[in-house]
Amino acid sequence: MKILVCISNVPDTTSKINFTADNTAFDTTGVQFVINPNDEFGLTRAMWLKEKQGATLHVATVGTAAVEPTMRKALAIGADEAIRINAEPTDGLFTARQLAEVVKNGGYDLVIAGRESIDYNGGMVPGMLAAMLDWNFVNTCIGLEIDGDKATAVREIDGGKETLETKLPLIIGGQKGLVEESDLRIPNMRGIMMARQKTLTVMDPVDMEPGTRDTQYEKPAPKGDVKLVDPGNLDQLIDLLHKEAKAI
């Protein structure tokens, strides 16, 4: 079995976000980038399949040379090979089109992507990729087992879980639950050293015009002042909740 995990390079959630060029561009100064958490759950699940079933595991991303440290981390975790499509991922459609070309030419049986990235939260790429390839697709996936060419997937639905059976080739939109946070892999020194010897292929992008463009960014409104109430003054608390907060 041959697996491709799609990786998105996103700002760490602790990073301070700012914009430049009159709020039309994201300021990367001082920002630390990491593997998108939903993708990291998928990468860990793919590692299990590699270790238990002898699968070959590749990772791919759309991005400039700046994303290569993130790809090297995926290699250090245990991926066999990395592929970088040399383009700025301007929108979901553009990204899916680039990844579709990788899948078509790679002979993959299973593609695992995060259901969404934590920067733009578009949630479009896995579904678009499945449509372009005409593959089976399971989104919001929190469980996956592979037996030959058969797959059993569990996905999160409103009020519960749904278990599906399907066949490969398959695309998964994974999230937390595909593995637990405690199962996520941290690269060790041996993995980091081996990653330096693994192949990181750079591909030219498919020529296409982006479907959308960013015109302006805007930060959320700043939080208002906080009022502290003495624990013993319940009457004042109730009065504030009623008259100012309109909560009761």
Rounded Cα gap, residues 205 and 84, in angstroms: 9
pLDDT class of 17 with cuts at 50, 70, 90: confident
Contact between 62 and 205 under an 8 Å Cβ cutoff? The reply is: yes
The answer to whether residue 245 scores a pLDDT higher than 90 is no
DSSP E strand stretches across the chain: 2-6, 9-11, 18-20, 25-27, 33-35, 56-62, 81-85, 110-114, 136-147, 150-157, 160-167, 170-174, 199-203
Task: Count the domains in the chain.
Answer: 1
SS3 174: strand
The CATH number that applies at residue 80 is 3.40.50.620
pLDDT value of position 138: 97
The predicted pLDDT at position 227 comes to 82
The whole-model pTM stands at 0.86
- Answer with the residue of higher pLDDT: 15 or 140: 140
Under 8 Å between Cβ of 78 and 50: yes
Q: Which domain holds residue 25?
A: 2-221
Would you state the pLDDT for residue 155? 95
Tell me the pairing of strands 25-27 and 18-20. Answer: antiparallel
Please report whether residue 238 resides in a domain. no
User: pLDDT digit string (tens) for 157-211?
Assistant: 999 999 999 999 999 999 999 999 999 998 889 999 999 999 999 999 999 988 8
- Whether 202 is in a domain gets the answer yes
At residue 224, does pLDDT exceed 90? no
Among 122, 118, 123, which residue's Cα sits nearest to residue 34? Answer: 118
Whether the pLDDT of residue 240 is over 90: the answer is: no
Residue 41 located in a structural domain: yes
Residue 8 covered by a domain = yes
pLDDT digit string (tens) for 45-64? Answer: 999 999 999 999 999 999 99
Handedness of CA 140, 82, 61, 71 (dihedral sign): positive
The per-residue pLDDT of the chain, averaged, comes to: 92
| 8 Cβ contact partners less than 8 Å away, ≥ 6 residues apart | 35, 36, 39, 61, 89, 114, 117, 119
Q: What is the pLDDT of residue 65?
A: 95
Asked whether residue 87 is domain-assigned, the answer is yes
Please state the rounded mean pLDDT for residues 118-132: 93
Helix/strand/coil for 95: helix
Query: Is residue 93 assigned to a domain?
Result: yes
Q: Is residue 165 included in any domain, yes or no?
A: yes
Q: Residue 199: what residue type?
A: T
